[in-house]
Amino acid sequence: MDGIHDLGGMHGFGAVVTPGGDAPYHERWEPRVFALQVLIGVEGLGAGPGGRATRERMDPASYLEASYYERWLWSSERRLLRKGTIAPGEVEAMMERLAAGEPAPAPQSDPDQAARAVAWLREVVPLQPVEQARFAPGQRVRVRRMRPAGHTRCPRYARGAVGVVEHVRGADSLPDHTGPGDAPVEPVYGVAFRSDELWGRGEEPAWTVMLDLWESYLEEIT
């Protein structure tokens, strides 16, 4: 979807290098939210679109205001609610209990769950082999103009631009698929774009942007 998450090329966000920016996180709740999201996936506690597609549906003002792991917390709650693992209001009720000084529930131990999570994090799931590729390395292609309502991996800034295929990466399920049935598996191409083509002539010497794009994002140049 053409949401606020699709940031490439936007102005106005200020400096990249700021005090404290070097650490992966600053508060202990942040890695715990990271771990909870992993466990929600591993244990099948959530439902519907994954964390990433869910976060893209945050209202834009909240998305901009939230920190990274706050967005993960938000998407985790949505996925748990969709599955019915938690009911509406339950998180707020627990917040009230904790804020009132009630101790958190006693720590629980489950070495099997820990092992499942670590195994999942260590598992490698490669792309599938490409059976038939419409485009070949060296070929010029154009990114389709589109305005998808659902999840996509085709950033706005590349749409309509012409690039050159450099790699056929492998085949992968199209993330844009919303059902019914399984997502089609398509070749994914590494495509090189000249900066002039994406942004016009700028102040910097020309550079190259490399993007991995599913086949249906691309069209032949006629």
Partner 1 sequence: MSDDHGHHHPRPDSEVALRARALEALLVEKGLVATDAVDAIIELYERDVGPRNGARVVARAWADPAYRERLLADGTKAIAELGFGGAEADNLVAVANTAAVHNAVVCTLCSCYPWPVLGLPPTWYKSLPYRARMVAEPRAVLREFGLELPDEVEVRVWDSSAEIRYLVVPMRPAGTDGLTEDALAALVTRDCMIGTAVPLPPGPAA
Q: Which of 76, 78, 141, 163 binds partner 1 (CB under 8 A)?
A: 76
Closest CA to 55 of 69, 39, 41: 69
- Of 133, 148, 113, nearest in space to 1 by CA: 148
Q: Which stretch binds partner 1 (CB under 8 A): 39-47, 135-143, 176-184?
A: 39-47
Binder to partner 1 among 47, 117, 146, 168 (CB under 8 A)? Answer: 117
Q: How far is CA 203 from the centre of its chain?
A: 31
How far apart (Å, rounded) are the C-alpha atoms in residues 173 and 53?
15
Any contact of residue 59 with partner 1 (CB under 8 A)?
Answer: no
Q: Which is nearer to partner 1, 86 or 162 (CB)?
A: 86
Task: Please state the closest distance from residue 150 (CB atom) to partner 1, in A.
Answer: 13
Nearer to partner 1, 108 or 222 (CB): 108
Asked if residue 182 binds partner 1 (CB under 8 A), the reply is: no
SS3 194: strand
Say whether residue 126 binds partner 1 (CB under 8 A). Answer: yes
Distance, in Å, from the CA atom of 89 to the CA atom of 197, rounded to the nearest integer, reads 49
Residue 145: CB partners within 8 Å, gap ≥ 6? 159, 160
Non-local (6+) Cβ contacts of 115 within 8 A are none
Q: Classify residue 60 by burial, with Cβ atoms within 10 Å: 0-12, 13-18, 19+.
A: exposed
Task: Rank residues 7 and 178 by Cβ distance to partner 1 and give the closer one.
Answer: 7
For 192, which DSSP code? E
Binding window for partner 1 (CB under 8 A); candidates: 129-137, 138-146, 176-184, 200-208: 200-208
Name 142's bridge partners: 162, 219
- Asked if 183 touches partner 1 (CB under 8 A), the answer is no
**Closest distance between partner 1 and the C-beta of residue 220, in Å?**
21
Q: Among residue numbers 129 through 168, which ones bind partner 1 (CB under 8 A)?
A: 153, 155, 157
Candidate list 137, 150, 160, 202; residue touching partner 1; CB under 8 A: 202
The angle formed by the CA atoms of residues 66, 71 and 72, to the nearest 5 degrees, is 150
Nearer to partner 1, 124 or 222 (CB): 124
Q: Which stretch binds partner 1 (CB under 8 A): 129-137, 139-147, 176-184, 185-193?
A: 185-193
Residue of 189, 199, 197 whose CA lies nearest to 139: 189
- Answer for which of 48, 59, 60, 90 binds partner 1 (CB under 8 A) is 90
What's the closest the beta carbon of residue 136 comes to partner 1, in angstroms? 18
